[in-house]
Amino acid sequence: MKINRFRDLIPSAASRRGFLSSLLGGSAAAMTWLTAGGLFRSSANASPAAGFAPLPDVPDSEIIRQQRELQSALARPLNTRRWAMVIDPRKCTGCNTCTISCRAENVTGPEGSYRRVAQGPAGRYPAVTNIFMPSNCAQCDDPPCQRAVPNGMILKRPDGIVEFDYTKLTGDYARKAADACPYRAVHVDEGKFFTTGTPAEQAYEKRDFVEYQREWNRADGTLPDSVARKCHFCLHRVEAGMLPACVANCMCTAMAFGDLNDSGSFVNKLLRENRTIRIHEELGIEPRVHYIEEKIEHVTQYSCATCH
Ligand code: SF4
Ligand code: SF4
Ligand code: SF4
C-alpha cells in the first residue's frame, strides 16, 4: 500500500583525485560538470512552500536554507527536480552520527548500513592529519545495479533517486545488485537483529518504518527475506519537506542536499565555489554525490598511496 505517512505525521589533479577516490576503493576523474545556468532561479529567499509550516528565520543557517530550498523544489513537478548531495571531507570529524541517524531512520540490521565513513591518513610528517570520507548510494543516473537485474526491479525516478522494489529484489537478484555496485553501497538484509542473544530483543529493531513511500517491518515479514537495501536519499523525508536524516543530524554541516536544477541552491553554490569530484565518474554512470576536494590547511602533501 502506498502511503505518505511521514507527511501526515509532520595541487595536481591526479593526486587530488587519487586521494579521495582511493578512500572509496577506486580511481576517479575530475569533475567537469558545471552548474551555472540551471533551469530555475534560486529559491534561497523564496516564501514558505505551500503545505509546510514556516521555517525559523535563521539567516546564517545552512540547514534552514537547504530545507527552504527543498520545500520550494517540491512545489515544482517531480521531473524538474534533480536531487544531489555534496560532501565536504574537510569538515567531517568521523563521528558517525550520520551513520547512526541513518540506521535509526531506516531500521537497518547488523548485515549492513546505508552509510559508511571511511578514514585514512593524509599529508607528510609532521603535517599529517586523518581524513574521513562518508559515502552512501550515489543514485547513479545510469546505475550498474539496475543493469545487473531484470527490468522493473530497480527504477530510476524522474527526480534521480534510484528505487529498489523490495517485493522483487531478493535472493540472487539482491546479491547481483550488490555485486554490481562500484561503491559497495548495497547490502542484503537477512532479517537479523542486533539484540538477538541478549536478555530481550528490543522493540526499536522491530518497529515499522517507511521507505519508497511504503510501510515496512523487519520482524513481521512485511520486508521480504534477503532483500537488497541501500540509501535512497531519505525519499520519505524529502517528499515530506525534510532534509535527509544524515544531512540534518551532521553537527559539522559536512553534507549538503538539494536540487541541481535550482541554479541558486546551496548545493550549486558549493559546486561553483569549490573544486569537486565524483567518485567513479570515469565509469560514465553519472553519480549524484559530489565531494569537495580543496586543499587541507597546513597539510602540504597528501595522497591515497600513503594508506593503499
Ligand atoms: S555526522 Fe557529519 S561529521 Fe559525523 S561522520 Fe557523518 S558526515 Fe562526518
Ligand atoms: S551507487 Fe550503487 S546502488 Fe546506488 S545507484 Fe549506483 S550502482 Fe546502484
Ligand atoms: S540520505 Fe538517508 S538513507 Fe541515505 S545515507 Fe543519509 S540518512 Fe541514510
Sequential DSSP letters for 143-174: -HHHHTS-TTSEEE-TTS-EEE-TTTSBHHHH
Q: Are 43 and 262 in contact (CB under 8 A)?
A: yes
Cell 537477512 belongs to residue: 190
Mean pLDDT of the chain: 85
Q: Which protein residue's CA is at the shortest distance from atom 1 of ligand 3?
A: 233
- Residues 73 and 255: their CA atoms lie apart, in Å, by 19
Digit-coded pLDDT (tens) for 48-93:
456 898 999 998 999 999 999 999 999 999 999 999 999 999 899 9
Instruction: Evaluate: CB of 162 within 6 angstroms of ligand 2.
Output: yes
Q: Where are the domains of the chain?
A: 5-306
Q: Which protein residue's CA is at the shortest distance from atom 4 of ligand 1?
A: 95
- Residues 59 and 177: their CA atoms lie apart, in Å, by 43
Digit-coded pLDDT (tens) for 131-189:
899 999 999 999 999 999 999 999 999 999 999 999 999 999 999 999 999 999 999 99
Q: Are 207 and 107 in contact (CB under 8 A)?
A: yes
- Closest-approaching ligand to the CA atom of 278: 2
Digit-coded pLDDT (tens) for 175-234:
999 999 999 999 999 999 999 999 999 999 999 999 999 999 999 999 999 999 999 999
- Residues 244 and 272: their CA atoms lie apart, in Å, by 22
Give the list of residues 6+ apart from residue 57 with CB closer than 8 angstroms, or none.
none
The structure's pTM equals 0.85
- Say which CATH architecture domain 5-306 belongs to: 2-Layer Sandwich (3.30)
Q: Which protein residue's CA is at the shortest distance from atom 2 of ligand 3?
A: 234
Ligand 2 center–CA 184 separation, angstroms: 8
pLDDT at 101 over 80: yes
pLDDT band at 130 (very low <50, low <70, confident <90, very high): confident
214-240: string of b/e by CB count within 10 Å (b at 16+)? bebebeeeebbebbbbbbbbbbbbbbb
Instruction: Evaluate: CB of 231 within 6 angstroms of ligand 2.
Output: no
pLDDT at 38 over 80: no
- For residue 237, what are the CA distances in angstroms to 83, 102, 246, 263? 13, 12, 11, 23
Distance from the first to the final alpha carbon of the chain: 47
Amino acid making up residue 57:
D
Packing angle, helices 266-273 and 62-74, rounded to 10: 120
pLDDT band at 26 (very low <50, low <70, confident <90, very high): very low
Q: What is the pLDDT of residue 154?
A: 98
Q: Are 253 and 62 in contact (CB under 8 A)?
A: yes
Query: Percentage of the chain surpassing pLDDT 90?
Result: 73
Q: Closest by alpha carbon to 293, among 99, 14, 94?
A: 14
pLDDT band at 16 (very low <50, low <70, confident <90, very high): very low
Pocket test for ligand 2, best of 183, 227, 279, 290 (most atoms within 8 A of CB): 183
Q: What is the pLDDT of residue 299?
A: 65
Q: What is the pLDDT of residue 293?
A: 86
Instruction: Evaluate: CB of 234 within 6 angstroms of ligand 3.
Output: yes
User: How much of the chain is helix, strand and coil, in % rounded to 5?
Assistant: 25, 20, 55
